[in-house]
Structure formats: C-alpha cells, structure tokens
Structure 1
Amino acid sequence: MSDWLFDLGNSRFKYAPLRGDRAGNVQAWTHGAEDLRSEALRALPQGRIAYVASVAAPGLTATMLEILRMRFQHVHVAHTEGRFADLRIAYGVPARFGVDRFLALLAAARGQRHVLVAGVGTALTIDLLDAGGLHHGGRIAASPTTMREALHARAVQLPPSGGQYHEFANDTDDALASGCDGAAIALIERSRAQGEQLLQAPVALLLHGGGAPALLPHLPPDTSHEPLLVLDGLARWAVHLPPAAG
C-alpha cells in the first residue's frame, strides 16, 4: 500500500504519492468548505500512511483529517519545528511560523545554497535561508491576487482580476495589474538585495505557489520556479520522521 502527501492550503488542495523524498505526480483543485463534501473526495487515494500539511481554517482541516483517517491506516500531520534535519528556524516560537513556510524551507535547504524563498498564494511570504540551513527570518504581505480582491471589496468599480503588466499603464485594468504585481516584485527584489547584503554573498531566488507564474517574467532570469516546493518539503519531513512515527 502506498504513502501519500496532502497539502491543504488557503485556496487549493493538492495531493501526490510519496516517491522517495520527493512528491510524485500532483493533483489539485481549488477548495471551499463545501468541496470537502463533494464527489471529488470519492476519488481520493487510499493507502498506508497519509502525511498532511494544512494552513486552512481549523474546521476545514478537521473535516479533511476525518476523511483521510477513513482511507489510511495512519495519518501524520506536519507541524513547524525549530530544528529539523539541517534546517533551523529563526522564530523564537516556531509554532507561529506557518507549516507551509517551514516545509518550503525544508525542501529548499537540500540545495545547500543561500536562497530567498518566495511563496505567492493568498499571502506573499518571503524567507531568507543560508547555505548552512539557518533561517534568517522573512516577511509576509498580501499577494497580488489578495490586493486586487481587497481593492475590489472597498471600491467595486475596480475589477478583481484582469489587465496586463506595464511599467507605466494607460488603462485602469492594466494599472491595477501593474501596481499589484509590481508591489510583489519590488518586495521580492528588495528582500533579495538585503539578503545578499546581510550574507555578503549571492542569494538564489526561488518562487513557488499558484501566483508565481505571473511574476516570473518580471523577475531576473536566474529565478527558479519550483511549484511543488511545499509537497517536496512534506516528503522530506516524512522520510526524516523516526521509524516509530512513520
């Protein structure tokens, strides 16, 4: 019986088989509370162990765990740890550091390089990790999608999506896309520059999350895109668990 990885985010649910210390082929859908009772759940795999990471609301998480416990012999839920494998988290209270950020860094740490990890989802998260696995802290901001939705909520005449990026737009839709995407791009670029100043060395840039593809064309060409970073981190967490836990 196979082992599977499950990532329940703020807006998307993803799962993949565990393949060594990496995620296999991923399936995903946009979720809401009602989707966890939909026909799609009947297609979920069954197996020996389910490894789960969730940043969703507690009620949504509890519902998913209940479903998985009916389909798997064991269910293990990942939590942020101050030290795990070669990773050391900067937060004084590790529980306050999101498990998605923790797992993304755990996956990024295997590269043994200075890296800035940017996750573009509901939030924009940015974390600096040195080649020795030491986390130097990070930032959290609204992602471009969330910025657009917030503007629309306060000013309904401003559309929540659409438009094209331009350095200086001459249309409202384009100006919104350019401003919100540009804010994220600027924060990422500043964080990388500040990281290189702090570490006195080049820092690689790594993007993940559903909103990453829209930003990639406007970031330096050496930017890496690793859409499975959180699931790969969950895979690494799974294989490093003590035998009694796994």
Structure 2
Amino acid sequence: MTFLALDVGNTRLKWAQYDSPQPGAKLLGHGAVFLENIDRLADEDWRDLPAPTHMLGCIVAGEAIRRRVEEQMEMWDFTPHWAVSSAAEAGMTNGYDHPTRLGADRWVAMIGAHARMLKQSPTPRPMVVVMVGTAVTVEAIDASGKFLGGLILPGHGIMLRALESGTAGLRVPTGDVCEFPTNTSDALTSGGTYAIAGAVERMVQHVRQHCGAEPVCMMTGGAGWKMAPSMSVQFELVDTLIFDGLLEIAQERLGTVWDV
C-alpha cells in the first residue's frame, strides 16, 4: 500500500512516495520539478516509480495545472484526491471566517506542524507556522489546535518585482542582508527579508499575549533557508510540513473517502 503525496505550489511541484499513507511512513523517493516541466513527469521522474495505491495532493496553482498533473498519473490505477480546507480535520479546528476559503497549502501545513508539535512536546503549546515561498504566510494556532488567523504578505521575488515595476531605475541584482545597507541591492534584499522577519516577530507577540504562553515557531517553504540567519525568534525549519500534513490527513481518511 504505497502512497504518493504532492505539493503543487505556484512555482514548483514537489512529490514524495511513502510505503504507507500514515505518519511515520518510510520515504521511498522524492523529487521536484518546475511547473513548466509537469508534462514530462510520466516519462521522466515517475517512469520507474512503483505504482502508488493511494494519492493525496495539495495544490494552489489552479485548475489547469491540476488537470495537467492528473494526466501524468493516468498510467496508475487510482483516483486522485486533493486536500481542501474544512471546518476541522486531523486534530485541527479552522477559525477562518469562511473555512473552505482558506488556502489548502496553509491548512495542510498547519496540520503537519500541529502534529509535529504534539509529538515533540509533552504539553500542547500554541504555535506560529510560517511558509516562505512565492507568497509568505504567518499562521497562529492556539494550544488546543484552533487556527486563530494568519498574515499573508509577498515573498522576496514579488517584493523586488513590485519595486522594479513601480520605481524608475531599480534594475539591480540581488544583494546581501545586512543591518545598515549602503547600496541599493543590499537595501532591497535587506528590506524584504526584515519585512518578513518583522511579520513573524509581531505574530509571535500576538500569540504570546493571546495564549499566555510562548509559542512554538516552525518555518517551511522553498525560501525558508534564506530567512534563517535573519530571524530573532527561535524557530524550527521543517522542509516537509505539507507532506507531514498530507500523511496525517491520509491516515484519517483511510476507510472513509478511500477504498482500501
């Protein structure tokens, strides 16, 4: 009973195959491709992959991309399933005004982070969960597993492109992060990095005050490593939060949504 997990973002598709659809399953293989290369998955990355018996994915890239991904899986005998936000799932409660409108990637990453925290801490703790990708999200979760709300802000690339398009003369290479930038490249890179770090720090303050306890902070996403040296709050960098969340959801769905 092998399990294929997919994380389809705005830039890349990441996949991982496990020996079973449950937390702690053994990783059999993994990879990533840019969205423009999706149509080669069946002939390249997935050509020699053992046929999965179950699949669950998380996608934010839109309906057209989803159809292209499903076309690449037609060589296997299973029905594709996709995670969607709901009022509650896998130990989490969704406090969004309209729960189904919460981005699936945010919801799945929070489920993965919450489960990871429960495994690590003898006492449940509030959390701040950060995803650093094309966009940046900063989520607040209380100790009971309720999603309190979150921030969305542009990622590094969007910030730089917005400045380049709206400000004459700003066509400069990416610079370094430093405390006192003395050139435009460093000023742009430092400004974007500290904007993200500041949003995380502010959310940590909010959660600490609201919950009366120090939150656990976890960060994920393709650009998470860029933020690590500039963070002033303690955090754990976890590349697999979305895959972890998909495994938690898969375990809960076995015997209900899926035929096993």
TM-score by length of 2: 0.87
Residue 51 of structure 1 is matched in structure 2 by: 56
After TM superposition, the structure 1 = structure 2 runs for residues 59-98 of structure 1, keeping only pairs within 5 Å, are: 59-98=64-103
Residue 4 of structure 1 is matched in structure 2 by: 4
Aligned residue identity for 2:102? F
Residue 106 of structure 1 is matched in structure 2 by: 111
Aligned residue identity for 1:11? T
- Taking structure 1 as reference, are residues 6 and 73 closer, same or farther at Cα in structure 2, changes over 3 Å only? same
| C-alpha distance after superposition, 1:104-154 (max 9, x if no partner) | 111111113211001111111011011211111111111122211222233
- Taking structure 1 as reference, are residues 41 and 102 closer, same or farther at Cα in structure 2, changes over 3 Å only? farther
1:229 aligns with 2:241: yes
1:31 aligns with 2:35: yes
Alpha-carbon RMSD across the aligned residues, in angstroms, is 2.0
C-alpha distance in 2 between matches for 1:159 and 1:232: 39
After TM superposition, the structure 1 = structure 2 runs for residues 165-180 of structure 1, keeping only pairs within 5 Å, are: 165-180=177-192
The CA deviation at 1:8 is: 0.6
Aligned residue identity for 1:236? E
- Taking structure 1 as reference, are residues 155 and 6 closer, same or farther at Cα in structure 2, changes over 3 Å only? same
Residue 117 of structure 1 is matched in structure 2 by: 129
C-alpha distance in 2 between matches for 1:187 and 1:206: 14
Q: Any conservation in 2 of the 1:118–1:206 contact (CA below 8 Å)?
A: yes
- Taking structure 1 as reference, are residues 17 and 38 closer, same or farther at Cα in structure 2, changes over 3 Å only? closer
C-alpha distance in 2 between matches for 1:107 and 1:168: 37
- Taking structure 1 as reference, are residues 22 and 92 closer, same or farther at Cα in structure 2, changes over 3 Å only? farther
C-alpha distance in 2 between matches for 1:13 and 1:216: 23
Structure 2 residue matching 1:188: 3-state secondary structure: helix
Residue 17 of structure 2 is matched in structure 1 by: 17
Residue 204 of structure 1 is matched in structure 2 by: 216
Residue 127 of structure 1 is matched in structure 2 by: 139
C-alpha distance in 2 between matches for 1:221 and 1:41: 44
The CA deviation at 1:41 is: 5.0
Aligned residue identity for 1:173? S
Unaligned runs of 5+ in 2: 118-123
C-alpha distance in 2 between matches for 1:71 and 1:13: 18
1:243 aligns with 2:252: no
Aligned residue identity for 2:52? G
Structure 1 stretches of at least 4 aligned residues deviating more than 4 Å after TM superposition: none
C-alpha distance in 2 between matches for 1:41 and 1:137: 41
Aligned residue identity for 1:51? L
User: More displaced, 66-75 or 199-208?
Assistant: 66-75
| C-alpha distance after superposition, 1:23-61 (max 9, x if no partner) | 7353112223xx222367532233211111100021111
Q: Any conservation in 2 of the 1:149–1:160 contact (CA below 8 Å)?
A: no
C-alpha distance in 1 between matches for 2:57 and 2:90: 18
